[in-house]
A = this chain, B = another copy of it.
Amino acid sequence: MNKESVGIVETKYLDISDPIVLDSGKTLEEVTVAYETYGELNKEKSNAILICHALTGDAHAAGWHNGDRKPGWWEMVIGPGKALDSEKYFIICSNVLGGCKGTTGPSSINPKTGKEYGLDFPVITINDMVKVQKKLVDSFGIDQLAAVVGGSMGGMQVLEWIVSYPKMMKKAIAIATTGMSSPQQIAFNAVGRQAIFSDPSWNDGNYYDSCEIPSNGLSIARMIAHITYLSDESMDIKFGRGLQDKDEISYDFSVDFQVESYLKHQGESFVKRFDANSYLFITKAVDLFDLSVNDSLIDGFKDVEANVKIISVDTDWLYPTDQCMEIVTALNANNVDVSFSEVKSNYGHDAFLLEKGQLNYIFANFLSENVVDDLMMEKIAKIKEGSDVVEAAKLMLDKNVTHIPVVSDDDKLIGIVTSWDLSKSIATGTNRLKDIMTKNVEYCHADDAIEEIARKMRKLDISCLPVVDEDMKVLGLITTDQISNLLS
């Protein structure tokens, strides 16, 4: 555990008392939601971020469960000082409906029978998952989330959120995902389900009382899916054609290659932590996911109000950049405030769980609420254009500043003078301020985003910007020192 972690956490449970009417028309009378939270909800209840997990994730997104050897699945972006900063935000992550990590799913007890649901569990949709998350968010008395964030199937939930509850979030980040499952994506899931169906131990979903679980089927389903999470490149880099625990090919059907051994291990360890029926229900929800209306994603996104960031991974072939761009295009067509970033990575789809640096950077910039107004110095020294160099030098010394805006008689910005300019005046023997000041002065406005201004200053290599109003009247100054204090 390192000091940037939220530390020891526990999964909590919410029993939702009112029935959930599902997209299928069926009703779940009792639903329990497993969830975790990190950080504190502020008084205004305005700092909550909801994290949505992928296919086989859970509520444990960050921190450490007592005694565990691994932290939560998105530890790399959640915690003090990280993009999803638990000292700033109240972060919520819940296990999805249909899951097997504490939220009601096919392995939960059906209150009507006193036995596990199995296949009696209703087929659910991504929208149903989101309905349950909404109840959880409501339970905190939160009227609007600061953001909803998720990758892969988590990204689908994010998109469902912005469509179903357009006013419920200020911002949304969807990573490596799609607005509707493609036939290829459906195909991989369908074969995975077929592998489970074909396992005799699956027994039509009734295996909870048995000593045999459908490990073979589930393991094969996981192996298939796992291939789609990796890029060709990452497999080449990781395994190449390396042999597993042997120097030569053995000319039998034992494992020859490292990649075989790795996949087998992935399959075998997965069955220890995941329920086969949950896998069926959740992959089905993914397949059914389609936000288009009248075959149009543009129509599907017409009510979106959130400020949206879509992120793709250049080597992701499961949810490729093209598909992410379709979301961007459809949101753009609705005049939604949407921006797009592509993560450069060898990892393929899995990059959303691995590319710490890029994701923290993109998240932090996008989530930042800071505008120049929050940061600028308002009580600053100004000097009139008619002043002489000696006056400027005295003012600098007096106020201990290196930049002084030069203003006209009606207080409008006409230039800036720096200690460097004053040095020049000595060298050239000039006494008039107008002769040495910078006239084509750069400036910014109070409502500019800090990130944008930081980029501008970096680009122009300047350390101080006057802040002006619409009439060019000087309101204050902003410096790179202030910005770097904020960003660190």
Instruction: Judge whether B251 and A182 touch: CB under 8 Å.
Output: no
User: Can you show 20 pairs from A to B with CB atoms below 8 A apart?
Assistant: A23-B251, A123-B252, A123-B253, A182-B241, A183-B235, A183-B236, A184-B232, A184-B236, A186-B241, A186-B260, A188-B227, A190-B260, A190-B264, A194-B219, A198-B199, A198-B219, A224-B224, A241-B290, A253-B280, A256-B288
Number of A residues, CB within 8 Å of B: 58
Indicate whether A180 reaches chain B with its CB closer than 8 angstroms. Answer: yes
A197 and chain B: residue at smallest CB distance: B253
Indicate whether A88 reaches chain B with its CB closer than 8 angstroms. Answer: no
Q: Digitize A186-218: 1 where CB-to-B-CB distance is under 8 Å, 0 elsewhere.
A: 111011011101111000000000000000110
Known: A181-B241, A216-B198. A186 touches B253 (CB 8 A): no
Contact of A24 among B180, B186, B219, B251 (CB under 8 A): B251
Instruction: Judge whether A253 and B193 touch: CB under 8 Å.
Output: yes
Instruction: Judge whether A187 and B253 touch: CB under 8 Å.
Output: no
Complex Cα spacing A212 to B393, Å = 97
Nearest first, the 4 A-B pairs at minimum CB distance are A198-B216, A24-B251, A183-B235, A183-B259
Indicate whether A39 reaches chain B with its CB closer than 8 angstroms. Answer: no
Complex Cα spacing A224 to B220, Å = 11
Instruction: Judge whether A183 and B220 touch: CB under 8 Å.
Output: no
Contacts of A257 in B (CB 8 A): 183, 186, 190, 287
A320 and chain B: residue at smallest CB distance: B232
Indicate whether A386 reaches chain B with its CB closer than 8 angstroms. Answer: no
A266-299 interface (Cβ within 8 A of B): 267, 280, 284, 287-288, 290
This chain: copies in complex? 2
Contacts of A217 in B (CB 8 A): 198
Shortest Cβ distance from residue A118 to the other chain B in the assembled complex, whole angstroms: 12
Contacts of A219 in B (CB 8 A): 194, 198
Indicate the member of A119, A238, A240, A249 with the most B CB atoms within 10 Å: A249
Q: Digitize A225-265: 1 where CB-to-B-CB distance is under 8 Å, 0 elsewhere.
A: 00100101001101111000000010111001111100110
Indicate whether A223 reaches chain B with its CB closer than 8 angstroms. Answer: yes
Contact of A187 among B123, B194, B263, B317 (CB under 8 A): B263
Indicate whether A81 reaches chain B with its CB closer than 8 angstroms. Answer: no
Indicate whether A122 reaches chain B with its CB closer than 8 angstroms. Answer: yes
Indicate the member of A223, A241, A264, A280 with the most B CB atoms within 10 Å: A241
| Residue ranges of A at the interface with B (Cβ–Cβ < 8 Å) | 23-26, 119, 122-123, 180-184, 186-188, 190-191, 193-195, 197-200, 216-217, 219-220, 223-224, 227, 230, 232, 235-236, 238-241, 249, 251-253, 256-260, 263-264, 267, 280, 284, 287-288, 290, 317, 320
Complex Cα spacing A251 to B281, Å = 10
Known: A257-B183, A288-B249. A223 touches B194 (CB 8 A): yes
Shortest Cβ distance from residue A189 to the other chain B in the assembled complex, whole angstroms: 9
Instruction: Judge whether B182 and A235 touch: CB under 8 Å.
Output: yes
Instruction: Judge whether B190 and A263 touch: CB under 8 Å.
Output: yes
Complex Cα spacing A264 to B191, Å = 8
Complex Cα spacing A25 to B249, Å = 12
Contacts of A25 in B (CB 8 A): 251
Instruction: Judge whether A241 and B194 touch: CB under 8 Å.
Output: no
A318 and chain B: residue at smallest CB distance: B232
